[in-house]
Amino acid sequence: MKEVFNTPGKIIVTCNRRLSPYLEEEIRELGFTPKRVFNTGVELQATANDCIRLNLHLRTASQVLYEIASFRAKDAHELYNALSKIAWEELIPFDGYFSVTSNVHNETITTPLFANVKVKDAIVDRIKDKKGVRPNSGPDLSKAVIHLHWIDEKAEIFLDTSGETLAKHGYRKIPGKAPMLEALASATILATKWDGRSPFVNPMCGSGTLAIEAALMAQKRMPGLQRMNYSFMHFVGYDDEVFFEQRRQLKDITDKANIPPIIASDISAEAVDISKANARTAGVEHLIQFEVCDFAETTVPQDAGIIMFNPEYGERLGQHSRLEATYSRIGDFMKQHCKGYRGYVFTGNPDLAKRIGLKASRRFEFFNGKLDCRLLQYELYEGTKEV
């Protein structure tokens, strides 16, 4: 078995659907050259030590997967035989713990759980044969994680160097109502091309995710500073000095000066309290001006910047007529009070979006969970130019 931490191999960095353009942008900024970009991820060549850097830096990713083998497997028997030939004793501590995840589409497999058990059995049997001890396994993702990607007859086996998903950034202890996933919030801000130096205004802030992600970006504070456990720490060959050196570098690039105005408001005092608590956990509460008010009373600094709304989408019955008026007021507010800004509305309801009454200059496609959504961009011109 190759020494994975220093040997370049195939890496797949996964993300939620439609986030890959923003993930690619992040990966390129780290100096890597993607080999392939697809709807739910980016492929590149790198070492498992490079995976440490990717895990600590990426805002829009879900998992960082390092391939250790690929082979043909018609059924579970062939899968087991191929996996039994891998030197698992050189990857997983014999007294350790591991879990198995999978993405399986094979006509002989009716449930991915069956494939997971076959992977687990092959690993445990191999290590017991070589070391005389059986490692523990189960569903917990806090230790070593092995991922199987098996489509038709092509199987790939990866070290999942992340474990728990990277899409959650570790600060949102109180989710609030209908929260936006942190990775999605990051991607929507990246889509705006916000410079991190001009004002960022987030009326109707809910649990505060957009404002918090904006504050983290303005500080150049990476998600890895929120987290001290990853799957890569539980594989043979891991050197904790590499991890701590990466953390030191993250601290060095953090910029605590020159933070622009970041304003988050909500009509609900409870929502603002939740936002403050989450911001406190993220270490950015002091960077955000929180306001309890109707969105139309939100402070909008004179310097041009970004204003972003994530209003309700009206999925529940009886909400639609009330929300029509809200969306109309959002359009009026941006037109009358946000001149010189770029306005953004994130919504999963195209009918309500029409009520904004402004012509969108761009439409960015996203999913929020399974819901097809759009981030609508509005140029809110100064002076007499038609909006």
Domain parsing of the chain, residue ranges: 4-160, 182-220+259-379
Residues 6+ apart with CB under 8 A from 197: 218, 258, 260
CATH topology for 182-220+259-379?
Answer: Rossmann fold (3.40.50)
Q: Assess contact for 166 and 58: CB atoms under 8 A.
A: yes
Domain 4-160 has CATH 3.40.50.10490: no
Q: What is the pTM of this model?
A: 0.95
Residues 6+ apart with CB under 8 A from 233: 240, 243
Select from 382, 374, 376 the least CA-distant residue to 343: 376
Q: Diameter of the chain by CA atoms?
A: 80
Q: How far apart are alpha carbons 152 and 160 in whole angstroms?
A: 21
Give the chain's radius of gyration (CA, Å). 23
The tens-digit pLDDT sequence of the chain (387 residues) is 568 999 999 999 999 999 999 999 999 999 999 999 999 999 999 999 999 999 999 999 999 999 999 999 999 999 999 999 999 999 999 899 999 999 999 999 988 899 999 999 999 999 999 999 999 999 999 999 999 999 999 999 999 999 999 999 999 888 777 779 999 999 999 999 999 999 999 999 999 999 999 999 999 999 999 999 999 999 999 999 999 999 999 999 998 888 999 999 999 999 999 999 999 999 999 999 999 999 999 999 998 999 999 999 876 545 667 899 999 999 999 999 999 999 999 999 999 999 999 999 999 999 999 999 999 999 998 754 443
Q: Assess contact for 183 and 167: CB atoms under 8 A.
A: yes
Roughly how many angstroms between the first and final C-alpha of the chain, as a whole number? 62
Q: In 132-217, at which residue ranges do the beta strands (DSSP E only) sit? A: 136-137, 144-151, 154-160, 200-202
Q: How many residues does the chain have?
A: 387
Q: What is the pLDDT of residue 3?
A: 85
Q: How many other C-beta atoms can be found within 10 angstroms of the C-beta atom of residue 243?
A: 20
Residue 48 Cα distances to 18, 25, 82, 91, angstroms: 26, 21, 22, 12
Helix (H, G, I), strand (E, B) or coil at 103: strand
Q: Using CA of residue 199, residue 205, residue 210, residue 214, what is the dihedral sign?
A: positive
Q: Assess contact for 231 and 143: CB atoms under 8 A.
A: yes
DSSP code for 164: S
Helix (H, G, I), strand (E, B) or coil at 385: coil
Phi, psi dihedral angles at 99 (to 5 degrees): -130, 165
Q: How far apart are alpha carbons 22 and 191 in whole angstroms?
A: 7
